[in-house]
């Protein structure tokens, strides 16, 4: 299976390369399909449409907010899951991965039942505070956070687990109180994991469709994020849908490639 060349055995077997090539094709071919069918001549016109620009801007705004919210809530959760021991910890961990396996539309319905106008919590939000989440941009952010936060929690928890606790002990012997230890030692050490988790979270939020349209609805400028716009464009103007999809892909690729080098420190 491996043929030594010039006396040195190859480090990766040929079979692994072959399978890896198939895997890569699996991702590349659909993208190639999109590029092949894109109406390059009409790109400018399609992208200039007001609703398209609205959808792109809304997608960016919502996904960034969703990532911020996921960081604010998900990092403490990941820390607790990794460090504290309490009854039901396994259950809580399983629940945080629930949105990953739930079909997004089902997630959207669940959010309605919880935060909708007549929802478990939503009815009080409405009655007491006049806060209504469905059909609002905040609702879109909530839907995206719901589906994307688990990615951050899982990655961050792994980071906290594998962080060397002895550095934290060293910090304590130097006089650092627990919050200082977390802020100046633990966080910087897990920063790469957190960055990776945040990127995954952001990418998932950006592409979210089912929960958003079910919970927040679809209205241009308020809740019509790019995936929703693409879906509707497929009905009427498939060419425009392809163009918009490619824009989304391009933005994601740019961010992922750029971030990996800077924050995640890999080749």
Partner 1 sequence: MTAPTHPAHLQADVALALGDLALDVSLDLPLGATIALLGPNGAGKTTLLRALAGLQPLDAGRVVLDGLVLEDTAAGVRLAPEQRPIGVLFQDYLLFPHLSALENVAFGLRCRGVARTEARRRALAWLDRVGLGDRAGARPRALSGGQAQRVALARALATDPQLLLLDEPLSALDAATRLEVRRELRRHLASFPGVRLLVTHDPLEAIALADTLVVLEHGRVVQAGTAADVSARPRSRYVAELVGVNLYRGAGGQGTVALAGGAALHSPAAATPGDVFALVHPRAVSLHRRAPEGTPRNVWKGVAGSLDLEGERVRVRVAGPIPIVAEVTPAAVAELALADGGEVWVSVKAAEVEVYPA
Partner 2 sequence: MRRAAPATAVAALLLAACGGAAGGFGGGPVSMPPTSAAPDAAPPRLTGSITVLAAASLTDAFNELGRQFQAAHPGIAISFSFGASSTLAQQVKAGAPADVLATADEATMQVAVAGGVAQPEVFARNRLAILVARGNPKGVRDLADLARPDLVVVLCAAEVPCGRFGQQALDKAGVKASPRSLEANVRGVVSKVALGEADAGIVYVTDVRAAGDRAEGVTIPDALNVVATYPIATVTATRNGSLAGGFVAYVRSPEGRQILATAGFQA
Only one of the segments 60-68, 161-169, 237-245, 254-262 lies at the binding site for partner 1 (rule: CB under 8 A); that segment is 161-169
- Is residue 198 within a helix (H) or strand (E), and if so which, with residue range? helix 187-207
Task: Give which of partner 1, partner 2, none residue 174 binds (C-beta under 5 to 8 Å, depending on kind).
Answer: partner 1
Give the whole-angstrom CA distance, residue 79 versus residue 89.
12
Give the whole-angstrom CA distance, residue 210 versus residue 219.
14
Give the whole-angstrom CA distance, residue 264 versus residue 168.
22
Give the whole-angstrom CA distance, residue 34 versus residue 200.
23
CB atoms within 10 A of CB 246: 18
Residue 176 makes contact with partner 1 by CB under 8 A: yes
Residue 213 makes contact with partner 1 by CB under 8 A: no
Closer of 108 and 150 to partner 2 (Cβ): 108
Task: Give which of partner 2, partner 1, none residue 170 binds (C-beta under 5 to 8 Å, depending on kind).
Answer: partner 1
3-state class of 136 per DSSP?
coil
Task: Give which of partner 1, partner 2, none residue 218 binds (C-beta under 5 to 8 Å, depending on kind).
Answer: partner 2
State the residues that interact with partner 2 by CB under 8 A.
109, 112-113, 116-118, 134-135, 213-214, 216-220, 223-224, 228, 231-236, 238
Residue numbers at the binding site for partner 1 (CB under 8 A): 166-167, 169-177, 180, 184-185, 188-189
């Amino acid at each position: 299976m491996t043929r030594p060349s010039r006396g040195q055995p190859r480090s990766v077997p040929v079979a692994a390369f072959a399978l890896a090539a198939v895997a890569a094709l699996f991702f590349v071919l659909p993208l190639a399909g999109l590029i092949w069918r894109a109406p390059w001549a009409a790109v400018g016109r399609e992208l200039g449409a007001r609703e398209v620009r609205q959808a792109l801007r809304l997608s960016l705004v919502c996904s960034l907010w969703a990532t911020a919210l996921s960081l604010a809530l998900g990092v403490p959760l990941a820390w607790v899951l990794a460090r504290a021991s309490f009854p039901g910890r396994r259950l809580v961990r399983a629940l945080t991965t629930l949105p990953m396996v739930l079909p997004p539309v089902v997630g959207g319905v669940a959010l309605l039942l919880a935060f909708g106008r007549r929802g478990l919590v939503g009815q009080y939000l409405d009655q007491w505070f006049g806060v209504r989440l469905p059909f609002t941009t905040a609702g879109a952010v909530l839907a995206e956070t719901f589906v994307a936060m688990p990615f951050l929690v899982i990655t961050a928890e792994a980071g906290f687990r594998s962080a060397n606790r002895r550095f934290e002990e060293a910090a304590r012997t130097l006089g650092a109180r627990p919050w200082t230890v977390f802020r100046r030692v633990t966080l910087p050490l897990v920063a790469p994991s957190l960055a990776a988790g945040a990127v995954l979270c952001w990418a998932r939020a950006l592409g979210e469709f089912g929960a958003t349209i079910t919970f927040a609805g679809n209205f241009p400028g308020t809740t019509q994020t790019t995936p929703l716009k693409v879906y509707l464009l497929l009905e009427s103007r498939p060419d425009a849908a392809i163009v918009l999809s490619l824009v989304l892909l391009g933005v994601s690729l740019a961010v992922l490639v750029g971030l990996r080098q800077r924050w995640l420190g890999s080749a």
